[in-house]
Amino acid sequence: MPLTPEQQAEIDAARAEPRETLRAISPGMEAHLYTAHPVLDHGFVRVIDYMGDDAAICQAARVSYGRGTKSVSNDEGLIRYLMRHWHSTPFEMCEIKLHVKLPVFVARQWIRHRTANVNEYSARYSILDREFYIPAPDALAAQSTTNNQGRGAALEGEEAERVLRLLREDAMRCYDHYEAMISDEGQQGLARELARMTLPANIYTQWYWKVDLHNLLHFLRLRADAHAQYEIRVYADAICKIVADWVPAAYRAFEDYRMGGATLSATALDCVRRMVKGEAVTQETSGMSKGEWREFVGVISD
Protein backbone atom coordinates (compact mmCIF):
# COMPACT_ATOMS: atom_id res chain seq x y z
CA MET A 1 0.00 0.00 0.00
CA PRO A 2 1.98 3.04 -1.20
CA LEU A 3 -0.20 5.64 0.57
CA THR A 4 -2.08 5.26 3.83
CA PRO A 5 -5.74 6.31 3.89
CA GLU A 6 -4.74 9.26 6.07
CA GLN A 7 -2.08 10.41 3.58
CA GLN A 8 -4.52 10.08 0.67
CA ALA A 9 -7.16 12.07 2.55
CA GLU A 10 -4.60 14.81 3.23
CA ILE A 11 -3.65 14.92 -0.45
CA ASP A 12 -7.28 15.00 -1.60
CA ALA A 13 -8.02 17.86 0.79
CA ALA A 14 -5.00 19.87 -0.40
CA ARG A 15 -5.86 19.40 -4.08
CA ALA A 16 -9.48 20.39 -3.42
CA GLU A 17 -8.42 23.81 -2.08
CA PRO A 18 -6.37 25.63 -4.73
CA ARG A 19 -4.78 28.85 -3.53
CA GLU A 20 -4.05 32.07 -5.34
CA THR A 21 -0.41 33.15 -5.39
CA LEU A 22 1.70 36.01 -6.69
CA ARG A 23 4.84 33.90 -6.95
CA ALA A 24 6.06 32.42 -10.21
CA ILE A 25 4.75 28.93 -10.83
CA SER A 26 5.65 26.11 -13.20
CA PRO A 27 2.50 24.73 -14.89
CA GLY A 28 4.22 21.40 -15.43
CA MET A 29 5.08 21.11 -11.74
CA GLU A 30 1.63 22.20 -10.60
CA ALA A 31 0.25 19.05 -12.24
CA HIS A 32 2.61 16.93 -10.09
CA LEU A 33 1.86 18.57 -6.74
CA TYR A 34 0.72 16.02 -4.14
CA THR A 35 0.47 13.21 -6.70
CA ALA A 36 2.18 10.01 -5.53
CA HIS A 37 4.10 8.33 -8.36
CA PRO A 38 4.47 4.60 -7.56
CA VAL A 39 8.00 3.15 -7.44
CA LEU A 40 8.94 -0.50 -6.76
CA ASP A 41 6.30 -2.57 -4.96
CA HIS A 42 5.31 -0.26 -2.09
CA GLY A 43 7.26 2.95 -2.68
CA PHE A 44 6.46 6.31 -4.19
CA VAL A 45 7.75 9.81 -4.93
CA ARG A 46 5.53 12.86 -4.59
CA VAL A 47 6.15 16.60 -4.74
CA ILE A 48 5.26 18.48 -1.56
CA ASP A 49 6.44 21.94 -2.64
CA TYR A 50 8.81 23.71 -5.02
CA MET A 51 10.31 27.10 -5.71
CA GLY A 52 11.38 28.59 -9.03
CA ASP A 53 11.27 27.63 -12.69
CA ASP A 54 13.41 28.08 -15.82
CA ALA A 55 12.90 31.84 -15.64
CA ALA A 56 14.23 31.92 -12.06
CA ILE A 57 17.50 30.39 -13.27
CA CYS A 58 17.90 33.08 -15.90
CA GLN A 59 16.87 35.85 -13.52
CA ALA A 60 19.55 34.79 -11.03
CA ALA A 61 22.19 34.52 -13.75
CA ARG A 62 21.49 37.99 -15.10
CA VAL A 63 21.69 39.51 -11.64
CA SER A 64 25.03 37.80 -11.17
CA TYR A 65 26.58 38.66 -14.50
CA GLY A 66 24.85 41.93 -15.39
CA ARG A 67 25.55 43.07 -18.95
CA GLY A 68 27.67 39.99 -19.60
CA THR A 69 24.57 38.01 -20.53
CA LYS A 70 23.12 40.46 -23.05
CA SER A 71 24.63 38.53 -25.96
CA VAL A 72 22.45 35.54 -25.08
CA SER A 73 19.32 35.91 -27.16
CA ASN A 74 16.91 33.79 -25.16
CA ASP A 75 16.45 32.06 -21.85
CA GLU A 76 17.07 28.57 -23.17
CA GLY A 77 20.30 29.68 -24.78
CA LEU A 78 21.41 31.17 -21.46
CA ILE A 79 20.50 28.00 -19.58
CA ARG A 80 22.45 25.91 -22.06
CA TYR A 81 25.43 28.24 -21.65
CA LEU A 82 25.27 27.90 -17.86
CA MET A 83 25.03 24.13 -18.05
CA ARG A 84 27.78 23.87 -20.67
CA HIS A 85 30.21 25.90 -18.56
CA TRP A 86 29.37 24.16 -15.27
CA HIS A 87 27.87 27.18 -13.54
CA SER A 88 26.02 26.17 -10.40
CA THR A 89 24.58 29.05 -8.38
CA PRO A 90 21.79 30.02 -10.85
CA PHE A 91 20.45 26.45 -10.65
CA GLU A 92 20.56 26.63 -6.85
CA MET A 93 17.80 29.26 -7.00
CA CYS A 94 15.26 26.49 -7.68
CA GLU A 95 14.30 24.04 -4.94
CA ILE A 96 12.04 21.02 -4.58
CA LYS A 97 10.68 19.17 -1.55
CA LEU A 98 9.80 15.52 -2.09
CA HIS A 99 8.05 12.94 0.03
CA VAL A 100 9.69 9.59 -0.70
CA LYS A 101 8.81 6.10 0.51
CA LEU A 102 11.72 3.72 -0.09
CA PRO A 103 13.45 0.61 1.27
CA VAL A 104 16.01 1.27 4.00
CA PHE A 105 18.93 -0.07 1.94
CA VAL A 106 18.04 2.36 -0.87
CA ALA A 107 17.82 5.18 1.67
CA ARG A 108 21.35 4.36 2.86
CA GLN A 109 22.65 4.83 -0.70
CA TRP A 110 20.57 7.96 -1.20
CA ILE A 111 21.71 9.67 2.00
CA ARG A 112 25.31 9.68 0.75
CA HIS A 113 24.24 12.74 -1.26
CA ARG A 114 24.82 15.12 1.64
CA THR A 115 23.58 18.28 -0.07
CA ALA A 116 19.91 18.09 0.90
CA ASN A 117 17.72 18.62 3.97
CA VAL A 118 16.23 15.35 5.20
CA ASN A 119 13.66 14.44 7.81
CA GLU A 120 13.02 10.70 8.08
CA TYR A 121 10.20 8.74 9.68
CA SER A 122 11.38 7.82 13.18
CA ALA A 123 11.23 4.19 14.28
CA ARG A 124 12.12 5.42 17.79
CA TYR A 125 8.72 7.05 18.18
CA SER A 126 6.53 5.19 15.68
CA ILE A 127 5.98 1.59 14.62
CA LEU A 128 7.08 0.71 11.12
CA ASP A 129 4.56 -0.90 8.78
CA ARG A 130 4.83 -4.52 7.70
CA GLU A 131 5.98 -3.57 4.21
CA PHE A 132 9.10 -4.97 2.59
CA TYR A 133 10.67 -4.67 -0.82
CA ILE A 134 10.57 -8.04 -2.55
CA PRO A 135 12.16 -7.86 -6.02
CA ALA A 136 10.21 -8.84 -9.08
CA PRO A 137 11.57 -12.06 -10.58
CA ASP A 138 13.21 -10.20 -13.47
CA ALA A 139 15.11 -8.01 -10.98
CA LEU A 140 16.84 -10.98 -9.35
CA ALA A 141 20.41 -11.38 -10.54
CA ALA A 142 23.59 -13.15 -9.53
CA GLN A 143 26.71 -11.31 -8.37
CA SER A 144 28.76 -10.00 -11.28
CA THR A 145 32.04 -11.82 -11.82
CA THR A 146 33.74 -8.67 -13.18
CA ASN A 147 32.29 -5.89 -11.02
CA ASN A 148 32.12 -6.09 -7.23
CA GLN A 149 29.33 -3.50 -7.21
CA GLY A 150 27.28 -4.96 -10.04
CA ARG A 151 24.94 -7.73 -11.07
CA GLY A 152 25.40 -10.59 -13.44
CA ALA A 153 22.94 -12.85 -15.22
CA ALA A 154 19.36 -13.11 -13.96
CA LEU A 155 18.47 -15.95 -11.62
CA GLU A 156 15.93 -18.34 -13.05
CA GLY A 157 13.80 -21.32 -12.17
CA GLU A 158 14.22 -23.00 -8.82
CA GLU A 159 17.06 -20.74 -7.70
CA ALA A 160 14.94 -17.62 -8.24
CA GLU A 161 12.03 -19.20 -6.39
CA ARG A 162 14.30 -20.19 -3.50
CA VAL A 163 15.70 -16.67 -3.13
CA LEU A 164 12.25 -15.06 -3.21
CA ARG A 165 10.98 -17.53 -0.64
CA LEU A 166 13.89 -16.79 1.70
CA LEU A 167 13.41 -13.04 1.34
CA ARG A 168 9.70 -13.26 2.17
CA GLU A 169 10.15 -15.70 5.05
CA ASP A 170 12.98 -13.73 6.63
CA ALA A 171 11.07 -10.45 6.34
CA MET A 172 7.92 -11.87 7.90
CA ARG A 173 9.81 -13.65 10.70
CA CYS A 174 11.77 -10.51 11.58
CA TYR A 175 8.59 -8.44 11.70
CA ASP A 176 6.85 -11.04 13.85
CA HIS A 177 9.75 -10.80 16.31
CA TYR A 178 9.63 -6.99 16.13
CA GLU A 179 5.93 -6.99 17.02
CA ALA A 180 6.45 -9.51 19.80
CA MET A 181 9.22 -7.45 21.40
CA ILE A 182 7.34 -4.14 21.42
CA SER A 183 4.14 -5.68 22.81
CA ASP A 184 5.21 -8.68 24.87
CA GLU A 185 1.91 -10.31 25.88
CA GLY A 186 0.48 -7.21 27.51
CA GLN A 187 3.73 -6.25 29.20
CA GLN A 188 5.44 -2.93 28.59
CA GLY A 189 7.66 -4.44 25.92
CA LEU A 190 11.06 -3.49 24.56
CA ALA A 191 11.72 0.12 23.59
CA ARG A 192 10.97 0.76 19.93
CA GLU A 193 14.41 2.24 19.40
CA LEU A 194 15.87 -1.16 20.36
CA ALA A 195 13.26 -3.44 18.81
CA ARG A 196 13.92 -1.96 15.37
CA MET A 197 17.35 -3.65 15.38
CA THR A 198 15.76 -6.91 14.24
CA LEU A 199 14.21 -5.44 11.09
CA PRO A 200 15.89 -6.17 7.73
CA ALA A 201 17.20 -3.55 5.32
CA ASN A 202 14.37 -4.14 2.83
CA ILE A 203 11.70 -2.70 5.13
CA TYR A 204 10.24 0.59 3.91
CA THR A 205 10.95 3.96 5.47
CA GLN A 206 9.78 7.45 4.47
CA TRP A 207 11.30 10.89 4.44
CA TYR A 208 10.93 14.46 3.28
CA TRP A 209 13.88 15.41 1.07
CA LYS A 210 14.47 19.06 0.10
CA VAL A 211 17.20 19.93 -2.37
CA ASP A 212 18.15 22.67 -4.81
CA LEU A 213 18.15 22.00 -8.54
CA HIS A 214 21.94 22.05 -8.92
CA ASN A 215 22.44 19.30 -6.37
CA LEU A 216 19.37 17.42 -7.58
CA LEU A 217 20.80 17.24 -11.10
CA HIS A 218 24.07 15.91 -9.68
CA PHE A 219 22.07 13.22 -7.86
CA LEU A 220 20.21 12.34 -11.07
CA ARG A 221 23.40 12.24 -13.16
CA LEU A 222 24.72 9.49 -10.89
CA ARG A 223 21.56 7.63 -9.91
CA ALA A 224 19.66 7.73 -13.22
CA ASP A 225 22.72 6.37 -15.00
CA ALA A 226 22.41 2.91 -16.53
CA HIS A 227 25.17 1.65 -14.21
CA ALA A 228 23.37 2.69 -11.01
CA GLN A 229 21.70 0.04 -8.87
CA TYR A 230 18.23 -0.71 -10.22
CA GLU A 231 16.40 -0.06 -6.94
CA ILE A 232 17.64 3.53 -6.65
CA ARG A 233 17.64 4.13 -10.41
CA VAL A 234 13.86 3.68 -10.65
CA TYR A 235 13.42 6.46 -8.07
CA ALA A 236 15.79 8.69 -10.04
CA ASP A 237 13.89 7.91 -13.25
CA ALA A 238 10.61 8.95 -11.60
CA ILE A 239 12.19 12.20 -10.40
CA CYS A 240 13.61 12.85 -13.89
CA LYS A 241 10.08 12.90 -15.31
CA ILE A 242 9.04 15.42 -12.67
CA VAL A 243 12.05 17.67 -13.28
CA ALA A 244 11.46 17.55 -17.05
CA ASP A 245 8.00 19.05 -16.48
CA TRP A 246 9.20 21.50 -13.81
CA VAL A 247 12.16 23.12 -15.63
CA PRO A 248 11.98 21.81 -19.21
CA ALA A 249 14.75 23.99 -20.66
CA ALA A 250 17.15 23.15 -17.83
CA TYR A 251 16.32 19.47 -18.10
CA ARG A 252 16.93 19.43 -21.86
CA ALA A 253 20.35 21.02 -21.27
CA PHE A 254 21.03 18.51 -18.50
CA GLU A 255 20.20 15.58 -20.79
CA ASP A 256 22.43 16.97 -23.51
CA TYR A 257 25.50 18.00 -21.52
CA ARG A 258 25.38 15.68 -18.48
CA MET A 259 23.41 12.52 -19.20
CA GLY A 260 24.23 12.33 -22.89
CA GLY A 261 27.63 14.00 -22.83
CA ALA A 262 31.06 12.82 -21.75
CA THR A 263 34.08 14.38 -20.05
CA LEU A 264 37.47 13.68 -21.61
CA SER A 265 40.84 13.99 -19.91
CA ALA A 266 43.61 16.01 -21.55
CA THR A 267 45.21 12.72 -22.66
CA ALA A 268 41.97 11.43 -24.15
CA LEU A 269 41.34 14.72 -25.94
CA ASP A 270 44.83 14.55 -27.41
CA CYS A 271 44.01 11.06 -28.73
CA VAL A 272 40.84 12.36 -30.38
CA ARG A 273 42.82 15.11 -32.11
CA ARG A 274 45.38 12.61 -33.34
CA MET A 275 42.60 10.33 -34.63
CA VAL A 276 40.96 13.23 -36.47
CA LYS A 277 44.29 13.84 -38.21
CA GLY A 278 44.29 10.22 -39.38
CA GLU A 279 46.66 8.63 -36.87
CA ALA A 280 45.89 5.04 -35.81
CA VAL A 281 46.04 5.43 -32.03
CA THR A 282 46.25 2.29 -29.90
CA GLN A 283 46.22 1.72 -26.17
CA GLU A 284 50.00 1.34 -26.24
CA THR A 285 50.48 4.72 -27.94
CA SER A 286 47.64 6.53 -26.19
CA GLY A 287 49.33 7.20 -22.86
CA MET A 288 46.35 5.63 -21.06
CA SER A 289 46.07 2.62 -18.81
CA LYS A 290 44.10 -0.38 -20.06
CA GLY A 291 41.12 0.64 -17.95
CA GLU A 292 41.19 4.24 -19.17
CA TRP A 293 41.54 3.09 -22.77
CA ARG A 294 38.60 0.70 -22.44
CA GLU A 295 36.39 3.48 -21.09
CA PHE A 296 37.61 5.90 -23.78
CA VAL A 297 36.83 3.46 -26.57
CA GLY A 298 33.39 2.90 -25.03
CA VAL A 299 32.68 6.65 -25.18
CA ILE A 300 33.81 7.27 -28.75
CA SER A 301 32.35 4.03 -30.11
CA ASP A 302 28.78 4.30 -28.78
Residues that are catalytic: 223
Q: Phi/psi of residue 204, each to 5°?
A: -85, 140
- Please list the alpha-helical segments (H only) found in the chain: 5-15, 27-30, 54-65, 75-84, 104-110, 157-182, 192-195, 213-223, 230-246, 248-254, 266-276, 283-286, 290-301
CA distance 26 to 246: 6
43-51/117-120 β-pairing: unpaired
Is 21 exposed, middle or buried (CB count within 10 Å of its CB: 0-12, 13-18, 19+)? exposed
Is 210 exposed, middle or buried (CB count within 10 Å of its CB: 0-12, 13-18, 19+)? middle
